[in-house]
Structure 1
C-alpha cells in the first residue's frame, strides 16, 4: 500500500507557482483522449463491421486451397487502390471542418473559358486535330510495317557466311590466290588500279563551266581597232565605278567632319576648359543703374488676375469652334474615303500583280544562280577578275616584242578558284621585321668608318 505523502503548503499566487505545484494530469489525460477520438472517431458512431469480425471458418484447422493469383491479376487489382505516394496528401484527422459553409473553388482548367473555346474552334476549322489524327494513324501503320518486316524470315539462302575471310573478298583476283602465300603478299602484288578507290565525280557546276575562260579579243597583241575600243570602254566604265565607290566612302567618312583651323581649335579648347570658372571682373560692363540704392527683386511678384465671365465664354466658344472644325474635317475625310474605295481597290490589285511578277522574277533569278553557283569549299570569297587592258603605245604587233602585264601562274590559279575547282584562299604574308643596326665603337675605329656608317644610314632614310 502506497503511502500518500502530505503536501507541503506552498504559495500559489503566481502563474508559474500554480503550474509548478498543481496536479493537472487528469485534465491532460481527458484532453488527450478527446483529441484521439476526434482523430480516429468515437466508438459509438462506428458501425459493428469495423469493430467486430465474423468468424466463418470456425475451429477447424482445415483451410481451403486457393489458386495463386497471377502477377498480372495482382497488378490489375492494385489499380483500384490509392497509391502510397498520395496517402500523405490525405487528411489523417476526423475533425470536421469548423466552417461548414466554405465556398468551393474549382481548380484552374476545370471549366473551359470563352477564350479557350474560341481557340479550340479555330484549331478545328484549320484542321489541326484532324491532321494530328492522320499523323498518329500513319505512325502506327509505319510501326506495324516495321514490326512485320522484322519478323519476316529470310527467304534468300545464297549468301556465303564464310566468304568474309576469302582472298576474293579483299580484291585479290583468282590468278594470284595461293594457299602457300600470305594474304598480305597476295594483296601487295595486285595492280594499283584494282586497289584504289574510284575518284568521286566533280560537281555539276564545275563540269558545266569551260576549262579556260576565253579572254576578250581586245587583249590580243595585235587587236582590231573596234575590239580594242570596246575593251577600252569596259575598262573605263569599271574605273568610273571604282572612283565613284571611293568618292562615296570618302564622303561618308572623312568628308562628314569639318576642318577647323589651329586658332579656332585653341579658342574652343579655352572656352571648354574655362566653363564653370568665375569670370574676371570687367568695369566696362557695369551699368550706372546698379549704383542706385533702389531695391529690385530677382523674381518680381505676379498678380493673380482672374478671368471674368466674358473671357471664359470667349475661351469656351473658341474650344467648341475648334472641336466643330475637327469633327467636320473627319466627316469630310470619311466621305472622300468612301469615294476613293474603287481607286484603292484598283491600286491594291495592280500592286499585288506587280509584286507577284517581281516574286516570279526573283525565283527565276535565284534558280539560275543556284544552278551555276560555286560549291562552298571555303569561307573566303572567290577573287573577282579585273579587266585586262594594254595601252595603245605598248602594242607591239608581234610576239617577239610583246611585254607581259600579268602573271600566267597567278592567272590560272585564280581561274581555278573562280570555276570552283579549288577552294578560294587568301594571301597570308608575314611582315618582315625591321632589324636595327648599331655601331659599336672601339679603339680601332677610324673617322673613315664613322663617316661610312653615317652615309649608309642617310641613304636608307
Structure 2
C-alpha cells in the first residue's frame, strides 16, 4: 500500500519561497531531453539502420564464433593503430553538437601587422638602399662561424700527458679526508669538508709585467757611517715628512674624538642643571609690569605698553608715488639685466679661449695620470689580500751620532731582522699582506660564595686578590 504524503501548505509570497517549495523537476527533464536532441539529433530524422540491428544468430553461437575467429593483435600493432586516432586530450576541441553554424560564410580578417603600410614600405626601401639587411646577414654568418669554432674548441681533447696521477694533485694531499675520496661524492661536498687551514684558495691574477725585485733592497746612502752632507740632508727631509704625516694623523684623530666633547666637572654639571630647572621660578621681572613713573596715581586699569596703531589710509598722491617708485625700480632692474647681456656677448671670445685652455690642460693632466697609472700597474706586485703592504721605515742616524770611521761606530739594534725579511717578502709579492691581530684576554670575574666553612683567612685572601 503506497503511503500518501500530506500536502504541506506554505507561504509563497517571496521569490525564495517559490524556488524552495515549487517542484520543477519535470520542466528540467524536458529541457535536458531537448538539449540532448539538439546535440545528437532527433530520432525521427535518423534512419532505421542506425536505430535497429537484425540479430540472425543466437548469443551462444555468436560468442563461440567470436572466440574462434578473434585474431591475435600484438602490442606494437595496437600502438600503430592508435596513431591514426584522435588523442583524448583533443576531444574537448572537437564539435560534439548537431546544431549547425548560424554563420555559414565568414570573412577572413588578417592579423594586425601582416599587411604592410605605406610607412613600412618606405622604411623597408630605405633599409634596402642603405644595405642594412645585407649587413645583418653578414653579421649572422660571422656569429654562426664564431659559435661553431668555439664549439669545436670545446670538444677538442687535451693532448697534454704531463699530468702525474700520483703526484701533488691527489685529493689526500690537498686536505680532503680519505673517507670522502670516492667517485660518488661530488667535489663540492669534498671541498666543503676540508679544514679551514687547508681550504683551497683562489689564485690571484698575475701582474701585467713580471718584475724581478732584488731580495735585499739597496739602502739609502744617507744611512752610511760617513755620508755626504747632501745625502744626509735628503734622508733627513724624508724622515721629517714621514713624521709630519704621522703627527697630522694623530692631531686629526684627537680633534674628531677627544676635542669634540668638552669636559665638565660634577659641580659645574649640578649648577648647570639647577639653573636650567629653576628658570622662571626664583625671581620675576616686575619692572616690565610696573608703570614708568611711580608718582602717578594708578586706577588699577590695564594699559598696553605700546601705543595703539591707527589704520591710516593712503591718499591718491601717496599711491601714485608708490607706483612710480616701483616702476622706477623695475626699469633699473631691466636696464641692469640688459647691460649684463651685452657685456656677456662681448666676453664670449674671452670665455671661449679660457674654456679651450682649461680643456687642453685637463687633457694633458689626464694623459699624465693614465701614464703613471699604467706604469704603476706594470711594476706593482700582484694583490694577494685586501690589507696594504707596509712601507719600510727609514733608518736615520742623527748628526751627533756620526763618527766618520768604523772604529767608533756604535752598534744599536734599531730593527728586527726577521720582521724586515717578512715585510720584504710581502713587498715583492711572495706573501700576502697581513695585519697584526692581537687577541684580547678575557677578564674572568670571580665570585665569593660565603658559607659556614669560610674562615677569616679565606676572606682576606679574596680581598687581596681583588685589589691586585
TM-score by length of 2: 0.51
For residues 172-222 of structure 1, the C-alpha deviation after alignment (integer angstroms, 9 at most, x for no partner) is 9xxxxxxxxxxxxxxxxxxxxxxxxxxx99867664322211111232345
Higher mean C-alpha deviation, range 351-360 or range 264-273: 264-273
User: Is 1:219 matched up with 2:228?
Assistant: no
The answer (yes or no) to whether the contact 1:231–1:389 under 8 Å persists in 2 is: yes
Indicate the residue corresponding to 1:325 in structure 2.
Answer: 332
Does residue 210 of structure 2 align to residue 210 of structure 1? no
Alpha-carbon distance between aligned partners in 2 of 1:333 and 1:232, rounded to the nearest angstrom: 57
Partner residue, 1:309: 316
Residues 207 and 377 in structure 2, CA contact (< 8 A), matched pair in contact too: no
Residue 425 (structure 2) aligns with: 416
Distance 2:13 2:444 in 1: 102
CA 149–299 in structure 1, closer or farther in 2 if over 3 Å, else same: same
Quote the residue 1:5 is aligned against: none
Question: What per-residue deviation string (whole Å, max 9, x for no partner) do you get for residues 49-107 of structure 1?
Answer: xxx9xxxxxxxxxxxxxxxxxxxxx9xxxxxxxxx99x9xxxxxx99xxxxxxxxxxx9
Shift of 1:387: 1.2
Shift of 1:343: 1.2
- Measured after TM superposition, the shift of residue 140 of structure 1 is 3.6
Aligned partner of residue 388 in structure 1, secondary structure: coil
Offset, 1:385:
1.6
* Matched position secondary structure for 2:291: helix
Q: Does 1:388 find its partner at 2:395?
A: yes
**What does 1:399-414 correspond to in 2, within 5 Å?**
401-414=410-423
**How many equivalent residue pairs?**
338
1:426 paired with 2:435, answer yes
CA distance, structure 1, for counterparts of residue 399 and residue 243 of structure 2: 18
2:354 matches 1:347:
yes
Q: In the aligned structure 2, how far is the partner of 1:304 from the partner of 1:263? A: 56
Instruction: Say if 1:218 and 1:230, in contact at 8 Å, map to a contact too.
Output: yes
Q: Any stretches of 5+ residues in structure 2 without a counterpart?
A: 1-8, 39-44, 46-83, 85-91, 96-100, 103-111, 118-130, 168-203, 293-297, 449-453
The verdict on how the C-alpha distance between 1:131 and 1:271 changes in structure 2, with shifts beyond 3 A counting, is: farther
Deviation at 1:369, TM superposition (A): 1.0
Q: Give me the CA root mean square deviation.
A: 6.4
Q: 1:135 to 1:314 in 2, by over 3 A?
A: farther
What secondary structure, in the 3-state scheme, does the structure 2 residue paired with 1:289 have?
A: coil
Counterpart for residue 87 of structure 2? none
Is 2:235–2:396's contact at 8 Å kept on the other side of the alignment?
yes
1:336 positional shift: 1.2
The 5 Å alignment of 1:241-280 reads: 241-255=245-259, 265-274=269-278, 279-280=281-282
- Deviations 1:394-448 (Å, cap 9, x if unpaired)? 5564378522211111111111111212111111222345789999976799xxx
How big is each residue's C-alpha offset from its partner over 1:328-352, in whole Å with a ceiling of 9 and x where there is no partner? 1221122112111111111111111
* Contact 1:205–1:375 (8 Å) recurs in 2: no
Gapped runs of 5+ residues in structure 1?
1-9, 41-51, 53-73, 75-83, 88-93, 96-106, 113-126, 173-199
SS at match of 1:381: coil
TM-score with structure 1 length normalisation? 0.52
